[in-house]
Amino acid sequence: KAGVTQTPRYLIKTRGQQVTLSCSPISGHRSVSWYQQTPGQGLQFLFEYFSETQRNKGNFPGRFSGRQFSNSRSEMNVSTLELGDSALYLCASSPWSGGIQETQYFGPGTRLLVL
């Protein structure tokens, strides 16, 4: 099975712009979660989607949003970019079937640099 894929791998944006990141889960996985990783804050949960619905949301401002499509692919959007949004954004997929099967498998990440 192919793993989780994320596009693009690298992005450079300027303050005030917006950005959209994409994540394709492992085939058969229906849940997609997003995490932000920074040197200062570590790994922080952004949100989780299942069946095209946001099921869980972390403590991030409304500038961070996401969605999931019927094929389980997910996108996250950050509007009005700030310097502090520079980070590695990780996407993880899981089956949403309960139990240890709910282990999350991660993509390679998208590294966003805001100038």
For residue 14, the minimal CB distance to another protein (Å) is: 23
Helix, strand and coil percent figures for the chain, each rounded to 5: 5, 50, 40
- Of the two residues 17 and 45, which places its CB atom closer to another protein in the complex? 45
- Of the two residues 6 and 19, which places its CB atom closer to another protein in the complex? 6
Amino acid occupying residue 41 = Q
Residue from the set 23, 24, 32, 33 that interacts with another protein by CB under 8 A: 33
Amino acid occupying residue 37 = Q
For residue 109, the minimal CB distance to another protein (Å) is: 5
Output the six-digit token pair for 67: 């969605």
What residues between 50 and 109 interact with another protein by CB under 8 A?
A: 55-56, 58, 88, 90, 92, 98-100, 102-109
- Of the two residues 17 and 37, which places its CB atom closer to another protein in the complex? 37
Residue from the set 2, 42, 62, 70 that interacts with another protein by CB under 8 A: 42
**Placement of tokens 């991030």 in the chain:** 60
For residue 45, the minimal CB distance to another protein (Å) is: 4
Beta carbons of 80 and 16 less than 8 angstroms apart? yes
| Contact partners, residue 13, CB within 8 Å, separation at least 6 | 19, 81, 112, 113, 114, 115
